[in-house]
Amino acid sequence: MANGEYDLIIIGAGSAGLTAAGFAAQLGLKVALAEKNRIGGDCTWTGCVPSKSLLKAAKIAHQMRNAHRFGIGSAEPEVDLKAVMARVKRVVEEVYQAESPETLRASGIDVYLGPTRFLDSHTIETGDDTLTGRRFLIATGARPSVPPISGIDDVDFLTYETLWDLEELPRSFIVIGGGPIGCEMAQAFCRLGSHVTLLEAGPRILPQDEPEASDLIASCLITDGVDLRLGAMVQRVWQNGDTIHVGIEGRTLEGDALLVAAGRCPSLEDLWLDKAGVVYGPHGIEVNTRLRTNRRHIYAAGDCLGGYQFTHYAAWQGFMAVRNAFLPSGQSAVLDQVPWATFTDPELAHTGLTESQAQSKFGQEAVVCNWPLDQVDRALTEGDAIGFVKLIHRPNGTIPGATIAAPRAGEMIQEWSLAIDLGLKIGALANSIHVYPTYATASMQAAAHIKVQQLLTGTSGRVIRGMARWAR
């Protein structure tokens, strides 16, 4: 190996890049990690970590207003958004400590900070340094997508990147986009005390989830006080002083702040991918199932590919990219189905196929079981019994998909994701003893209900009932 040449150069230090760098270092490879902004990526600085910290503050405010439900005097919270955001930033900094350049360098990873671009297929320029590598991993993530709304360039709008600079709670807060980011932030700011209007161009929010799940979240948002407008096509926006105006179908809304939450697009600008000969398009870098680009020594992972843009998926792909690049592995790292969660209250989580997808694939063999959360003792004790576990199953016991709407849905979905990945049947979940009382009991109850129904149906059911009567 030539002096200064790396086994692996990773461009982008978000979830995919950090995971890849850590694994590569453990393999004993000489690794360089180049990042143009801050180590940690969107998840640490502008996405998962700050948003969940803000949601926690919003939930506390909500609980204060509703404490009377538990025999405790309710109180209207005094929200100091500057103090709330200060705590959010403290949490971010705490998470960042495990990802800092000093921490990474101590683990054997060379870190380079500054704008990064390809000079050729084996060479990059990062800051003032020029590096050469045997293999590369592009993991540059994604950035907010801003729709071409008339006047948008002349308005001081917010995205999930700039939202965290707010220091005063907007009296009137307008959110464009009913996806996960839009729904989470709409609920959070409403609970903190803003008058929130959520605009969604489509017929429902969270369109990737089951219709009854998105309907439930919509109902909960409205109950909290969110002014939800479906089928709301934003035609233009403009600003007079501190007031932002949003025009929708002959009506004008006014707000102190505007959040554009219209999705994300791959961040590939200024990489000079053409000089490396890497094929890409508006939807991301093109890779095969092993995450290899058209250049055999260059891989890509995470949000820069387009498709599913989740921190956990990006991290997994970062690991798999290193595995496929350096170890004898041909495992696919581009999945058709990935678990996800939206962290509204209640949370909404999904894995596998939706009901419509399962019916398209399996026809009448795709059977649905909806288990209401008000049948779960822990939900009743917590006063959070709004929600359900929806399981899609087949006569052979396999589980094509699951959706959960519940306060702990993000944790509850994991056993169903594992069951689908391992090909477990419904009986395995029904026979697995779950701790009582927990929200996860709902999964066992639903699985047991399905299994009992399967056992007692048809010829087997008649035989089992006959045996029971004979034993009596």
The pLDDT, as a whole number, for residue 456 is: 77
Counting every residue, how long is the chain?
Answer: 472
Answer yes or no: are the C-beta atoms of 12 and 139 closer than 8 Å. Answer: yes
**Based on the domain organization, do 288 and 429 belong to the same domain?**
no
Cα three-residue angle 450-374-187, rounded to 5 degrees = 115
**Based on the domain organization, do 291 and 245 belong to the same domain?**
no
**Based on the domain organization, do 33 and 132 belong to the same domain?**
yes
H-type alpha helices, 66-127? 81-96, 101-106
Contacts of 241 (CB under 8 A, 6+ apart): none
Q: Is residue 70 part of a domain?
A: no
The domain boundary residue, chosen from 210, 237, 262: 262
Cα(73)–Cα(406) distance, rounded to whole angstroms? 26
Q: Is residue 157 part of a domain?
A: yes
CATH number for the domain that contains residue 292: 3.50.50.60
* CB crowding 290-317: b at 16 or more within 10 Å, else e: bbbbebeebbbbbbbbbbbbbbebbbbb
**Based on the domain organization, do 134 and 282 belong to the same domain?**
yes
User: Strand, coil or helix: what is 463?
Assistant: helix
How many domains does the structure of the chain reveal? 3
What residues make up the domain containing 394? 346-459
Q: Is residue 65 part of a domain?
A: no
pLDDT tens sequence for the chain (472 residues)? 334 699 999 999 999 999 999 999 999 999 999 999 999 999 999 999 999 999 999 999 999 999 999 999 999 999 999 999 999 999 999 999 999 999 999 999 999 999 999 999 999 999 999 999 999 999 999 999 999 999 999 999 999 999 999 999 999 999 999 999 999 999 999 999 999 999 999 999 999 999 999 999 999 999 999 999 999 999 999 999 999 999 998 899 999 999 999 999 999 999 999 999 999 999 999 999 999 999 999 999 999 999 999 999 999 999 999 999 999 877 899 998 899 999 999 999 999 999 999 999 999 999 999 999 999 999 999 999 999 999 999 999 999 999 999 999 999 999 999 999 999 999 999 999 999 999 999 999 999 999 998 887 766 666 666 777 777 6
| pTM of the shown model | 0.94
Q: Is residue 160 part of a domain?
A: yes
The pLDDT, as a whole number, for residue 387 is: 97
The domain boundary residue, chosen from 262, 286, 306: 262
The domain boundary residue, chosen from 209, 231, 262: 262
Q: Which two tokens stand for residue 374?
A: 């008000």
H-type alpha helices, 225-346? 273-276, 311-326
**Based on the domain organization, do 131 and 220 belong to the same domain?**
no
Contacts of 252 (CB under 8 A, 6+ apart): 245, 246
Q: Could you give the count of Cα atoms lying within 13 Å of 329 in the half-sphere of its Cβ?
A: 16
**Based on the domain organization, do 400 and 258 belong to the same domain?**
no
Q: What is the DSSP letter of 215?
A: H
Answer yes or no: are the C-beta atoms of 176 and 199 closer than 8 Å. Answer: yes
Q: Is residue 199 part of a domain?
A: yes
Helix axis angle, 441-455 to 458-471, nearest 10°: 90
Q: Is residue 202 part of a domain?
A: yes
Cα three-residue angle 458-463-466, rounded to 5 degrees = 125
The pLDDT, as a whole number, for residue 464 is: 66
**Based on the domain organization, do 157 and 258 belong to the same domain?**
yes
Cα(436)–Cα(230) distance, rounded to whole angstroms? 40
* CA–centroid distance for 131 within its chain: 33
H-type alpha helices, 210-298? 211-224, 273-276
* CA–centroid distance for 314 within its chain: 10
CATH number for the domain that contains residue 417: 3.30.390.30
Q: Is residue 332 part of a domain?
A: no
**Based on the domain organization, do 140 and 275 belong to the same domain?**
yes
DSSP letters for 117-135: EEEETTEEEETTEEEEEEE
**Based on the domain organization, do 271 and 413 belong to the same domain?**
no
**Based on the domain organization, do 303 and 254 belong to the same domain?**
no
**Based on the domain organization, do 119 and 15 belong to the same domain?**
yes
Q: Which two tokens stand for residue 259?
A: 């959040």
The pLDDT, as a whole number, for residue 460 is: 67
H-type alpha helices, 27-80? 41-45, 48-65
Q: Is residue 128 part of a domain?
A: yes
Answer yes or no: are the C-beta atoms of 391 and 371 closer than 8 Å. Answer: yes
**Based on the domain organization, do 132 and 25 belong to the same domain?**
yes
The pLDDT, as a whole number, for residue 2 is: 39
Answer yes or no: are the C-beta atoms of 229 and 202 closer than 8 Å. Answer: no
Answer yes or no: are the C-beta atoms of 278 and 294 closer than 8 Å. Answer: yes
Answer yes or no: are the C-beta atoms of 187 and 345 closer than 8 Å. Answer: yes
